[in-house]
Amino acid sequence: MTEIVRQSARALLFDSERRLVLIKRTKPGQEPYWVAVGGGLESEDTDVEAALRREALEELGGEIDQVRQVLLITDDLHAGIGLQHVFVARLISMDLASRTGAEFTAPGRGTYEVVSVPATRAALSEIRLLPPPLAQFAQRNVHGLLALLDQADEEPERDEGP
């Protein structure tokens, strides 16, 4: 049996202007690349969605909703497998002054610039979004992901009473 040795949560986040919110990473001596907001599951996280919400808060000072898992990427690692749970979500609010974490305080880690990218196949093809399976998925499905969020916007609130 193959053991899951690492799990992470990432989000293709769309803002109120229907743009994709990503993080542009610039490390000394490397070409810039872009990543989706997210990171590894930690012991205090109750599940991968909780990890995603924590990461959005840490990396963006952000709050998200309409969270829905849309992809699972499996990585073959030395000691087992890693699972990257990829979600689509709406970014409700963001306060970059509230960002926390080692990414912003550890010297030598490079820069973490929050950028908005047009939600088009052409715009996504012009950046180096990592990992490659996420980039391919985002390019192929960007319009469907927006449609999912639009559909969720139109759904009436469910009464969860007795």
pLDDT in tens, 12-68: 999 999 999 999 999 888 999 999 999 999 999 999 999 999 999 999 999 999 999
Residue by residue, what is the 3-state secondary structure of 81-92? EEEEEEEEEEEE
C-alpha to C-alpha distance for 146 and 19, rounded to whole angstroms: 9
Half-sphere exposure of 110 (CA within 13 A, CB side): 14
What is the predicted pLDDT for the residue at 111? 86
pTM higher than 0.75: yes
In degrees, rounded to 5, the angle at the alpha carbon of residue 127 between the alpha carbons of residues 123 and 130 is 125
pLDDT digits (tens, 9 = 90+) for 124-150: 999 999 999 999 999 999 999 999 999
| Pairing state between β 80-93 and 4-14 | parallel
- The secondary structure of the chain in percent helix, strand, coil, rounded to multiples of 5, reads 30, 40, 30
- Give pLDDT tens digits for 151-161: 887 766 555 55
Phi, psi of 117 (to 5 degrees): -120, 135
Cα angle: 93, vertex 99, 44; to 5 degrees: 95
Right CATH for 4-154 from 3.10.180.10, 3.90.79.10, 3.40.50.150, 3.40.50.920: 3.90.79.10
For the chain, the average pLDDT equals 91
pLDDT in tens, 71-128: 999 999 999 999 999 999 999 999 999 988 766 666 677 888 999 999 999 999 999 9
- pLDDT at 136 (0 to 100): 97
Domain parsing of the chain, residue ranges:
4-154
Structure tokens belonging to residue 77: 């690692």
